[in-house]
């Protein structure tokens, strides 16, 4: 039968084409270019690499970007003040505070300081809640939304399928489970305290790995023909690898996203498209508010 590799590049190219069309409409209707800001705190190399990838994709479609770098020892108050400035800037339609954060900073406090209408990675409580209410207009976290775009591009059936999501972080595992559930999959979530992980993954039509451990999912943990979505980004001997042990998984799985070249490519363009979506939501809310103003 052979395992089909689900290449992220054609998916990213198709989404980029759609972004270009959306941008033209945005400029025509609102007379402005959408703007994206990236907040970098400290010197984490993976955050710097992600910043470079986001800027490259955003600038390639014509979205204005502004990178704001803070020292790793910046106080919570300093970070909060920067978020308040970005919430108020009319030239910035969406922004992200890149992970990982220095340990003295609160992820929850940062998330909920962000204006939900500018929350292009769907991390505020408001957007996370709306995601679980199956709101199609929500600004969904870009990594799982990219995973869903990839599954859709390759016509992977979801309705009635059993999906096992390994990982329960608020940015990858949990929102991925919510999106799969909204697509009518039957969803099981596993995590580091799950006993006998393989007993769950072997029942799955779709296995989603969002763990952060190289080689955590092996071929003997899969049902033959299963679809495997690998979000893992790990470095072993200077090489980027996923959470899936490709050597043992390839002879068993029906479909697999490669690392690199799979989910990561799609995440970045989904994030960039969310800037256009956020800008559109902001303008339509302003229009609704001005219609509610009594005539003078």
Q: Which is nearer to ligand NAP, 87 or 258 (CB)?
A: 258
Following CA atoms 8, 13, 14, 15 in sequence, which dihedral angle do they give, to the nearest 10 degrees? Answer: 90
> Is the preceding omega at residue 100 within 30 degrees of 0, hence cis?
yes
Residue least distant from ligand NAP (Cβ): 169
Q: Does 102 sit near ligand NAP (CB under 6 A)?
A: no
Q: Which is nearer to ligand NAP, 33 or 170 (CB)?
A: 170
* Sign of the CA dihedral with 208 first, then 213, 214, and 218 last: negative
Alpha-carbon span 142 to 125, nearest angstrom: 16
Q: From the list 16, 89, 107, 168, which residue makes contact with ligand NAP (rule: CB under 6 A)?
A: 168
Minimum CB separation of residue 194 from ligand NAP in Å reads 6
Considering only the stretches 20-28, 101-109, 205-213, 277-285, report the one whose residues sit in contact with ligand NAP under the rule CB under 6 A. Answer: 205-213
**Interaction with ligand NAP in 171-190: which residues (CB under 6 A)?**
171-173, 190
Q: Which is nearer to ligand NAP, 6 or 166 (CB)?
A: 166
Minimum CB separation of residue 46 from ligand NAP in Å reads 7
Alpha-carbon span 251 to 292, nearest angstrom: 61
With CB under 6 A as the rule, give the number of residues binding ligand NAP. 26
Following CA atoms 145, 140, 270, 110 in sequence, which dihedral angle do they give, to the nearest 10 degrees? Answer: -130
Axis crossing angle, helix 142-153 with helix 263-292, rounded to the nearest 10: 110
**Interaction with ligand NAP in 210-229: which residues (CB under 6 A)?**
210-213, 216
Residue whose token pair is 């929350």: 119
Residues of this chain that interact with ligand NAP (CB under 6 A) are 143, 166-169, 171-173, 190-194, 197, 210-213, 216, 231-234, 263-264, 267
């Amino acid at each position: 039968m052979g395992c089909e590799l689900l290449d992220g590049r054609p998916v990213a190219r198709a989404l980029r084409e759609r972004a270009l069309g959306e941008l033209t409409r945005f400029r025509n209707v609102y007379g402005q270019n959408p703007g994206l800001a990236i907040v970098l705190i400290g010197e984490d190399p993976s955050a710097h690499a992600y910043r470079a990838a986001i800027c490259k994709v955003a600038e390639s479609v014509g979205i204005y970007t502004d990178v704001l770098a803070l020292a790793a020892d910046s106080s919570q108050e300093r970070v909060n003040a920067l978020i308040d400035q970005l919430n108020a800037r009319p030239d910035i339609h969406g922004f992200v505070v890149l992970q990982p954060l220095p340990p003295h900073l609160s992820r929850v406090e940062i998330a909920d300081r962000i204006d939900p209408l500018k929350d292009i990675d769907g991390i505020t409580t408001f957007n996370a809640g709306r995601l679980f209410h199956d709101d199609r207009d929500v600004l969904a976290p870009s990594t799982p939304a990219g995973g869903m775009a990839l599954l859709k591009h390759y016509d992977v059936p979801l309705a009635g399928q059993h999906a096992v999501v390994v990982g329960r972080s608020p940015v990858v595992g949990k929102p991925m489970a919510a999106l799969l559930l909204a697509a009518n999959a039957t969803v099981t979530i596993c995590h580091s305290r799950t006993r006998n992980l393989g007993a769950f993954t072997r029942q799955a039509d779709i296995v989603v790995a969002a763990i952060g451990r190289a080689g955590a999912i092996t071929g003997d943990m899969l049902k033959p023909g299963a679809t495997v979505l690998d979000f893992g980004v790990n470095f072993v001997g200077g090489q980027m690898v996923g959470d899936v042990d490709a050597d043992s998984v390839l002879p068993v799985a029906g479909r697999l996203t490669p690392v690199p070249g799979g989910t990561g490519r799609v995440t970045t363009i989904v994030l960039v498209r969310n800037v256009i979506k956020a800008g559109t939501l902001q303008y339509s809310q302003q229009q609704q508010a001005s219609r509610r103003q009594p005539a003078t």
